[in-house]
Amino acid sequence: MRRAHLLGLGFLSPALAIILMLFLIPVLLTVMFSFTNMSTATGISGGAYEINAASLRKLADAGAQESFVETLGKESFVVDDAGITAAAAAYGEQFANEVGSQMLGERFSSRRDLERAFRKLKSRPRSTRDIKKAANLFKRSVLNIRFETAGGLVGAVTDNGIEMTPDQQELLTKTIYTGWTWTSDNFALMAQIPYVWRVAGNTVLYVVLTLAASVGLGLFLAITTFYLPSSSATSFRAIWFLPRILPNVIFVLMWKWLAWDTGFLSSLFANFGVPPRNWMLDTGVNAWVFIVLINGIVGASLGMILFGSAIKSIPQSMLHASEVDGASRWQQICYIILPQLRWPIMFICAYSTLSLLTSFEYILLSTDGGPGGATEVWSLMAFHTALDNYAGNLQYGLGAAMALMLVIVGILASLVYLRIFNFNDLVAKPRIEQ
């Protein structure tokens, strides 16, 4: 390998490392998490097996027989060697020997039945309280006990006198496992969310309206500043670029100050008898207007810079020749400028679409999906599901599956853009070179 190639790889290695760490690895982790049921309830490491009130309800919901669930939830009392040893330490060898000789191996369905059997013994404890404590030494239950392996759980259930079929064993170990497992159920769960289609519609509306606003306004600003004097155009672009370099929180706070019930709009309209209100969250329509304006202005600044640079690269001779032929400004825009902006327009549309599909920070800071979920978009729903769930159980797997759907939609949207703008013709060699 030549030294130049090695030098090139050396310069590229930081970029490759960044791409690997900030793009490829997060995408692979998202794909991996989307096929798990990982959540705060399961943890991100291994789990255990535990039968408790909640897992018994899950077992019943999973289709287990009612009698089987009731049996698992009951306590039983078994006279075994472990209990006899404990009784000897607590109430003496004579009582323990009598229990072992007369009752070893017997099973009682309730503590009351075992207490009755104890009262028939000659060496029994004399007080009722001690008899109850002695009975508790023989209590056997699988409730609220953590087992590290499925075999340990099945063995404990069997030792407790509960017989299970192979199907019941499989259902039990699968249902009550407290750790995460590999599954594809997340994609089915998404379709079962009651408001999922509303969120999908909100996402389409958000992308279309914001894309139209940002691209349209960016084109308008680029063309307008192109025909302005150089000093005025530079100052105008600098002012319009400020929203992009401002921190997101400060930018949204400025809009909130504009829309608050004590903000600028309410103070202005109060002079005309309009009662004060929060214009941003008053209605769903108002919220969408502000969201499109906030995101559209930020997106327009980037479009203005790229479109303006592309317009400046158009040979001036073409514009001068059109003026000689009597073309108006509007005709120059329609027949010279816009046709040569196909590549920048495609880039901005594709970039903005992918950005809008996955970005939610401005919506989170301004409306947080409100009012009443009217502005909840897919990426914000994925964030709420995985990282900010009101119910308290953060569902990492389901949120990752939602994010993976955005990746798929983004790839399909990019292919559509390449088709619409005829990408092969855009990158083809000039005909004179062919």
Q: Where are the chain's structural domains? A: 48-74+144-178, 77-140, 193-394
Identify the pLDDT of residue 82.
84
Q: b vs e for 78-115, b when ≥16 Cβ sit within 10 Å of the residue's Cβ?
A: bbeeebbeebbeebeeebbebbbeebeeeebeebeebb
**Mean pLDDT, the chain cut into blocks of 10 residues (434 residues total):** 67 81 85 91 84 85 85 81 86 87 83 86 87 84 82 83 85 86 91 92 96 94 89 86 88 92 90 91 93 93 90 87 86 89 87 90 93 93 88 86 92 85 65 53
Quote the pLDDT of residue 431: 56
What pLDDT was estimated at residue 430? 56
Residue partners of 352: CB distance under 8 A and separation at least 6: 210, 211, 214, 215, 299, 303
Cβ atoms of residues 309 and 225 within 8 Å:
no
SS3 of the chain: helix, strand, coil, percent, to 5: 70, 5, 25
Strand order across the beta sheet in which 76-78 lies: 107-108, 76-78, 139-140
What does DSSP assign to residue 279? T
Calculate ∠ Cα 161-163-167, nearest 5°: 150
Is the distance from CB of 201 to CB of 374 less than 8 angstroms?
no
Instruction: List the end-to-end C-alpha distance of the chain, in Å, as a whole number.
Output: 32
Q: CB–CB of 377/361 below 8 Å?
A: no
Angle at 252 between CA 246 and CA 255, to 5 degrees: 115
For residues 374 and 284, is the Cβ–Cβ distance under 8 A?
Answer: yes
Residue pair 378/20 in contact by the 8 Å Cβ criterion: no
Q: Is the peptide bond before 371 cis (omega within 30 degrees of 0)?
A: yes
Q: What is the CATH number of domain 193-394?
A: 1.10.3720.10
Helix (H, G, I), strand (E, B) or coil at 221: helix
- Contact between 367 and 295 under an 8 Å Cβ cutoff? The reply is no
| Angular region, 27: left φ>0, alpha ψ -120 to 50, beta rest | alpha
Residue with tokens 């005909």: 431
Burial of 66 (0-12, 13-18, 19+ CB in 10 A): exposed
